[in-house]
Amino acid sequence: MVVAVLQGSVRSERMGDRVAKWVISQLKARGHEVVLVDAAVLDLPLLDKMWKELKRGSDARSAELRGKLRPVAELYARADGFVIVSGEYNHSVPPALTNLLDYFLEEYLYRPSAIVCYSTGGYGGVRAAMQLRALLAEVGMSSIPSLQAIPKVGQALSVDGLALTQALAEGTVQFFDEFDWYMAALAAGRKLSDPRRN
Ligand SMILES: Cc1cc2nc3c(=O)[nH]c(=O)nc-3n(C[C@H](O)[C@H](O)[C@H](O)COP(=O)(O)O)c2cc1C
């Protein structure tokens, strides 16, 4: 399966890096092709035009953004699933993550998403995750039932994305199994009839 991992924190001292690294290693261990979509690397401006509008824009700004976003659009077109790595800012979704998601819409359809949320506090970002669920359903990549929450992220993961707690090292099988199931089920559904091509 092809999995896009979206990392939506752009803070210079972000914890999201270690979470994304951990997610990527878990997915690769399951044999998936994994590609990171990092909001900090893309350095996108606050949304003016969506990808579908940028595609036909003739101005210099559209051309520059097209260059940045074309590889992302190509990745999304062949992705079987999306893992959304989300911190929690004021009990809500980090704005750079929302901004990254908002550039696309049709490109997400008929694929599942899985939320990996985290925070330096004890709740692991679950309040943001509840809002993220509504957003992901709206853009057409409904999230799987299980969440992977990582509380006290600085103690749970090393800077290299290695699990430092037993709970994280051993307790995540069901989450990734479930994601695999949804990816396979929706891939089979798209094979029967792909509404994106109808
Ligand atoms: C603007 C802002 C708001 C925050 N609000 C919350 C919050 O509501 N709940 C929480 O548990 N942590 C909160 N935190 C702490 C974050 O969990 C912590 O900074 C985490 O590392 C953020 O992810 P990042 O480092 O990848 O950006 C907040 C941090 C920032 C910068």
At 75-84, the pLDDT tens digits run: 999 999 999 9
Comparing 197 with 182, the larger pLDDT belongs to 182
CATH number of the CATH domain containing 25: 3.40.50.360
| Ligand 1 atom having least distance to the Cα of 124 | 11
Whole domain around residue 34: which residue ranges? 2-192
Q: Looking at residue 198, what is its pLDDT? A: 58
Helix locations, the chain, DSSP H: 16-29, 39-42, 51-54, 60-78, 95-102, 126-138, 153-156, 166-170, 173-192
**Is 155's C-beta closer than 6 angstroms to any atom of ligand 1?**
no
pTM of the model: 0.97
| 64 Cα–ligand 1 center, Å | 31
Determine whether the shortest distance from the Cβ of 119 to ligand 1 is under 6 A: yes
**Domain assignment present for 198:** no
pLDDT reported for residue 57: 81
For residue 197, is it within any domain? no
Ligand 1 contact, 120 CB (< 6 A):
yes
119, 123, 130, 157, best to mutate for ligand 1 pocket (most atoms within 8 Å of CB): 119
Separation CA 16–CA 100 (nearest Å): 15
Total domain count for the chain?
1
Burial class of residue 134 (count of CB atoms within 10 Å of its CB; 0-12, 13-18, 19+): exposed
72 lines ligand 1 (CB under 6 A): no
Rounded to an integer, what distance in angstroms lies between the CA atom of residue 50 and that of residue 90? 26
10 within a domain of the structure (yes/no): yes
Q: Is the pLDDT of residue 103 over 70?
A: yes
User: 125 C-alpha vs ligand 1 centroid, how far in Å?
Assistant: 8
> How far is it, in rounded angstroms, from Cα 108 to Cα 4?
11
For residue 10, what is the enclosing H or E element? none
Assess if residue 135 is contained within a domain. Answer: yes
* Ligand 1 neighbour 11 (Cβ under 6 A): yes
Q: Is the pLDDT of residue 197 over 80?
A: no
DSSP H or E run through 113: strand 113-118
Residue 90 CA, ligand 1 centroid: distance in Å: 7
Residue 12 Cβ < 6 Å to ligand 1: no
112 touches 183 (CB < 8 A): yes
pLDDT tens for residues 119-144? 999 999 999 999 999 999 999 999 99
Q: Is the CB of 121 under 6 A from ligand 1?
A: yes
pLDDT score for 194: 80
Is 41 part of a structural domain of the chain? yes
Tell me whether residue 33 is in a domain.
yes
Q: Is residue 184 one of the residues assigned to a domain?
A: yes
Contact by Cβ (8 Å): 34, 3: yes
Ligand 1 pocket, 110 CB below 6 A?
no
Phi, psi of 15 (to 5 degrees): -85, -20
Nearest CA among 38, 45, 40 for reference residue 64: 45
